[in-house]
Every structure is written in structure tokens, then in C-alpha cells.
Amino acid sequence: MEHLPILVVAVPLFVAFAIPLIDKVGGGRYAKEGVTVGSLLFSLIGMILLLKRVAALGPQVYVFGAALPTLTLPTGMKVPIRIMFEVDGMSAFMALSGSIAALAAAIYSIAYLKDETGKDRFYVLFLLLVVGMLGMELTGDIFNFFVFLEISSIASAALVAFRYYKAESIEAAIKYMVVGSLSALFVLIAVGFLYGKYDALNFAAIAKRMEFSWADKIALALLVVSLALKCGAVPLHMWLPDAYAEAPASVTALLVSVSQASLYGLFRVCFSLFGVKMSTLTVGWIVIIFGVLSMFIGVTMALVQKEIKRLMAFHAISQTGYMLLGVGVGLAVLGNPFDLKSYGLMAMKGGIFHIINHAMYKGLLFLTAGAVFYRAGTRDLNKLGGLAHNMPWTTVYFIIGAAAIAGLPPFNGFASKLMIYESVYKFNPILSIMAMIVSVLTLASFVKIFQSAFLGPQLPEYKDIKEAPMSMLVGMGILAFVVVFFGLFPELIVRTIVDPAAKALVDQASYISKVMGGM
């Protein structure tokens, strides 16, 4: 059991490397799909067990290559020298959300990519992307974080370009690659600054000795900007709609979770690495401004889009804004225990709950968009129409996803948005009102898609199209089930997984002491 943190990452990695060999020896028609789904199912179950373990025993560490998984400080050493994974409530929460999305997307891909070539490479890259994402979320070492960031950004650029015969996907992949590797290099410069100052690469070891001098400020600025860029916050969002719109739908559903891994990195840096030693009010406001800009510009750009996936991609930016807003409010009042208790923690819970909700419903929406594209062959809203006659299940899934993203009860988006509105109102009423306006605009734009793609008379050119294939329905069904389940029992979810995640972010001391001992 103490090996769980590594197993959830290493098993998909092992399978990723084995896929080309399995493909070479033959091994059945669906061999690579089977092992991919199997390994992702293993990771999901492992993550659930790990989450339970973290809830029961507190943060878990896993030190590579040591005689014992928990031996963080070898005898006579003051700083940890080995690479380690450190899993607290927040990491486990993020990784759980990512592995659900990954499993659904992998099942969906089986039918979605049936007629494409190069599927063995697709599944290798897909698993590498999952490994990069989970690694970013579980690692306790800042350089290791950079390595996983690069793994995920290279794998996702390759996957965006998967349909290499389309000029648009190559163009999107080039943009993503340049922007992604540039931001990763900025993360590396920040790592250099921190290493040069503290001679350590471990989050906890650096946090323990954090002085917040000028070098740390440069590092913080570089980290915040580059991670905000990777998660698509607004002034730095230009790559995101292209990449999301041009990637195959199952990859886009996973890319949502991968961008959230960068978001997690941003929160981890702000809360656990710098924590109360920096001026949390300033940084908190910076994060809030990123959030509000993302919410507003994302949704207004989405309103004018004609292309279904591009429209959804702009909504992804806008929803990221909610998470940044919620957690940013928590960060802004981190130094003030009273405010933190009265509304800060609630805002953070809302933001964090919104992360998993967003990964689920936005993944679902992208998958339905992919199903529409798979059957109708176009993503242009002006050409689509009347699909509800032919694709009833896809329509139902779309309604679930759209209602969730617009924040209608009883779906999960409502629960988390309500938490954000209530708590942010106490912090600053204007921000809360803006969030509500954005929500209304979101609803308007999804009504537009629904009306133009699904409703209306049956168009002659779409008369013969059928419902999406089975595996795609199953993939969408998993996410739809999670959306509805979370919407019906928000209390349960908040109590079991969201609350520990928010507390884990705030509780910097136990994050440090788990690695550095009780000094």
C-alpha cells in the first residue's frame, strides 16, 4: 500500500512503453486499446485508494531509491537529497479528477479513432500525457515538476498534431509547442533561482527556509506567469482555443485536465512553496485579476464563435477564471485567520470543487462535440442542425454538460458556483456580481449551440446519420454520471474530497513537516 503513489504513475508509463512491442507482435485487434484502458483503470482505482489513505493518515511521501519509502532525510542530512512524491489532499484530489477524465477519454477513443492511422503512437502519447499530468500533481520536487511539465507539453503538442493531414492542427501544435516550451523554460529559470539560493529542490525544503528576498520574488513572478500561461489565464490565452479546437476530441477532454495540472502547480507554488511568507494580498489580487479577466474575455470571445469546439475552448478559459477567482480570494486572505475562516476557506473550496466539476462537464462537452463531428463531419454551427432526431443520447449528454457549465441546479456546476458567489460576495461584492453575469452569458451561448446544432427540423444532409458508437457513449456516460452524481450529492463530495484538499493547501506546516521532520 505504501507504494501506491508511484504505482499510479509507473504502471501507465510501463504500459506506454510496452504498446509498440505489443503492436509489433500482433496480439489481437484491440490489444493496445485494452491495455491502455486497463492501466488507466488501475490508476483510477489506485488513486481512490490513495485518496482514502491520505484522508486517514495525512500527507504521504514516497522517496525514490531509498531503503524505505518514507525515509525523506537520509542519516546525517539536513535537506532531502532524493526525488520524492508528496501526496496531500490537494494532489490526490487533482490526480483523481485527472484519472477519471483520462479513463473516459481513453474509452471514447476506441471508436473515435477507429479509422485513423498511427494508433499505437496515439496511445503511447496519450499515456505519456496522463503520466505527465499525474506526475505534476503528485511530485514533491520542483525540478521533477518541470520534467513532468515538459513531458506533458511535448506529448500534448504531438497529440494536437495527431491529424497531421490537416494544416490547422499543425499550426495549432506549433503555437502550442513554442508557447509551452518557452513557459517551461521560465519555470526552469525560476527553479535555478530557488536552487541557487537554497541548495534544495524539494518543495518542502525550500518552503521551510523561504526568506522572500528579491531572488525569490523573481522566481515567484516567473512561476506565476508561466503557469498561468500554461493553464490559459487571459492575457496569455492565445494558444488555448487553437490547441483545444484542433486536437482530437478525446485528447481535448484530457487537455482540460492537463491544463488544470498547471493550475495545481500555480496553487502549490503560491500556497505551499511561498505561503504566508510572501505578501499574499498582492499575489492573491494578481490571481483574482487573472481570474476575472479570464472569465470575462473568455465568455465574450465565446459568444461570437461559429465553431463548436472553439466556442467550448473559450468557455474553458472562462471557467478557469472561476477557479482562479475562488482560490485567489482564499490566497488573498491567507494571512488573516479570521477572514480565512469566515469566507476564505469557503471560496477556496468553491474554486477547488469547480476544478473537478469543470474537468468532468467540460470533458463531457468536448466529447459530445467530437461525437457530432464524428457523425456529421463538420463543426460549423451554421451548417449543423436537427441532430436531436438522430443522436438522442448525445443530445442528452450535451444537455447535462451544458446545464452543468451554465450553473443550473441540480448539476454539479451549480453547487461549486454557488459556493464561489456566496463567499466572494463577502470579500468583494463586485467580483461576485461579475461572476454571475458571466454565468448568464455562458448559459446564453450554450443555448445557442443547443438550438443551432441539436434542435430544429431534421436537415436533409443529416438524415441518415446514426447515434455515436458504443464506446463513445460509454466514455461520455462515465463523465455524465459523475456530473449528475456530484450535482445530486454536493455535500458528500465537498466533505470527503474537497474539504481535505482546501485544508491541505492552507496547511503549509504539515506539508513541510512531513518531509523535514518535526523540527
Partner 1 sequence: MPFVVVGVMLALGLYAILFSKNLIKIAIGLSIVESAVNLFLITLGYVKGAVAPIYTMAPAGKKMVLPTPQALTLTAIVIGLATTAMLLSLIVMAYKHYGTLDIRELRRLRG
Partner 2 sequence: MRMSKIVRTITALLFWAVLVFGFYIVIHGHLTPGGGFQGGAVIASSTALFLIAFSKDEFLRKYKDVFLSVAESGGLLLFISIAFLGIGATFFYNFMANSGGIFGSPTPIGINDGDLNTAGTLPPMNIAVGLEVFGGLSLILLFMFLGAYLKPFSKESEVHEE
Give the residues lining the site for partner 2 (CB under 8 A). Answer: 3, 6, 10, 13-14, 17-21, 24, 62-69, 117-118, 121, 158, 161-162, 164-165, 167
Is 301 a binding residue for partner 1 by CB under 8 A? The answer is yes
Nearest Cα residue to 302 out of 426, 439, 187, 172: 439
CB of 218 to partner 1, least distance (A): 12
Residue pair 200/80 in contact by the 8 Å Cβ criterion: yes
Nearest Cα residue to 237 out of 328, 316, 352, 169: 316
- Contact positions with partner 1 (CB under 8 A) in 158-217: 158, 161, 164, 167-168, 170-174, 177-178, 181-182, 185, 188-189, 191-192, 195-196, 199, 201
Nearer to partner 1, 159 or 348 (CB): 159
Distances (CA, A) of 340 to 218, 241, 352, 415: 27, 35, 15, 20
Set of cell numbers at residue 44? 483510477
Max CA separation in the chain (angstroms): 77
Nearer to partner 1, 84 or 356 (CB): 84
- Choose among partner 2, partner 1, none what residue 282 binds, the Cβ cut-off being 5 to 8 Å by kind: none
* Position among 150, 339, 422, 467 found at the interface with partner 1 (CB under 8 A): 150
- Choose among partner 2, partner 1, none what residue 66 binds, the Cβ cut-off being 5 to 8 Å by kind: partner 2
- Choose among partner 1, partner 2, none what residue 178 binds, the Cβ cut-off being 5 to 8 Å by kind: partner 1
CB of 83 to partner 2, least distance (A): 9
Beta-bridge partners for 139 = 85
- Choose among partner 2, partner 1, none what residue 17 binds, the Cβ cut-off being 5 to 8 Å by kind: partner 2
Set of cell numbers at residue 329? 480570494
Contacts (Cβ under 8 Å, ≥6 apart) of 208: 512, 516
Rounded CA gap, 253 and 240, in Å? 13
* Position among 14, 143, 212, 373 found at the interface with partner 1 (CB under 8 A): 143
Q: Do the bridges between strand 84-87 and strand 60-63 make them parallel or antiparallel, or are there none, so unpaired? A: antiparallel
Is 154 a binding residue for partner 1 by CB under 8 A? The answer is yes
CB of 446 to partner 2, least distance (A): 34
Is 299 a binding residue for partner 1 by CB under 8 A? The answer is no
- Choose among partner 2, partner 1, none what residue 305 binds, the Cβ cut-off being 5 to 8 Å by kind: partner 1
Residue type, 149: L
CB of 144 to partner 1, least distance (A): 10
CB of 20 to partner 1, least distance (A): 17
Nearer to partner 2, 160 or 415 (CB): 160
Contacts (Cβ under 8 Å, ≥6 apart) of 92: 47, 50, 51, 54, 497, 501
Is 304 a binding residue for partner 1 by CB under 8 A? The answer is yes
Nearer to partner 2, 6 or 48 (CB): 6
SS3 string of 186-229?
A: HHHHHHHHHHHHHCCCEHHHHHHHCCCCHHHHHHHHHHHHHHHH
Nearer to partner 2, 116 or 211 (CB): 116
- Choose among partner 2, partner 1, none what residue 192 binds, the Cβ cut-off being 5 to 8 Å by kind: partner 1
Contacts (Cβ under 8 Å, ≥6 apart) of 120: 19, 20, 23, 32
Residue pair 443/475 in contact by the 8 Å Cβ criterion: no
- Choose among partner 1, partner 2, none what residue 189 binds, the Cβ cut-off being 5 to 8 Å by kind: partner 1
CB of 171 to partner 1, least distance (A): 5
* Position among 33, 137, 141, 242 found at the interface with partner 1 (CB under 8 A): 242
SS3 string of 301-337?
A: HHHCCCEHHHHHHHHHHHHHHHHHHHHHHHHHCCCCH
DSSP H helices in 58-166: 89-112, 119-138, 142-160
Nearer to partner 2, 126 or 162 (CB): 162
The continuous run of DSSP H or E covering 87 comes out as strand 84-87
DSSP H helices in 30-114: 31-57, 89-112
What length is written for the chain?
A: 519
Residue pair 421/436 in contact by the 8 Å Cβ criterion: yes
- Choose among partner 1, partner 2, none what residue 143 binds, the Cβ cut-off being 5 to 8 Å by kind: partner 1
- Choose among partner 1, partner 2, none what residue 64 binds, the Cβ cut-off being 5 to 8 Å by kind: partner 2
- Choose among partner 2, partner 1, none what residue 6 binds, the Cβ cut-off being 5 to 8 Å by kind: partner 2
Residue at grid coordinates 489580487: 285
CB of 230 to partner 1, least distance (A): 14
Rounded CA gap, 436 and 295, in Å? 10
Residue pair 318/446 in contact by the 8 Å Cβ criterion: no
Set of cell numbers at residue 158? 504531438
- Choose among partner 1, partner 2, none what residue 62 binds, the Cβ cut-off being 5 to 8 Å by kind: partner 2
User: What is the size of the binding site for partner 1 (CB under 8 A)?
Assistant: 36
Residue pair 309/369 in contact by the 8 Å Cβ criterion: yes
Q: Is 75 helix (H, G, I), strand (E, B) or coil?
A: coil
Kindly indicate which of the ranges 65-73, 112-120, 151-159, 466-474 contains the residues binding partner 1, using the contact rule CB under 8 A: 151-159
Buried b (16+ CB within 10 A) or exposed e, 482-511: bbbebbeebeebbeebbbbbbbbbbbbeeb
Nearer to partner 1, 166 or 341 (CB): 166
Is 83 a binding residue for partner 1 by CB under 8 A? The answer is no
Kindly indicate which of the ranges 12-20, 299-307, 398-406, 467-475 contains the residues binding partner 1, using the contact rule CB under 8 A: 299-307
Q: What is the binding site for partner 1 (CB under 8 A)?
A: 143, 147, 150, 154, 157-158, 161, 164, 167-168, 170-174, 177-178, 181-182, 185, 188-189, 191-192, 195-196, 199, 201, 241-242, 245-246, 301, 304-305, 310
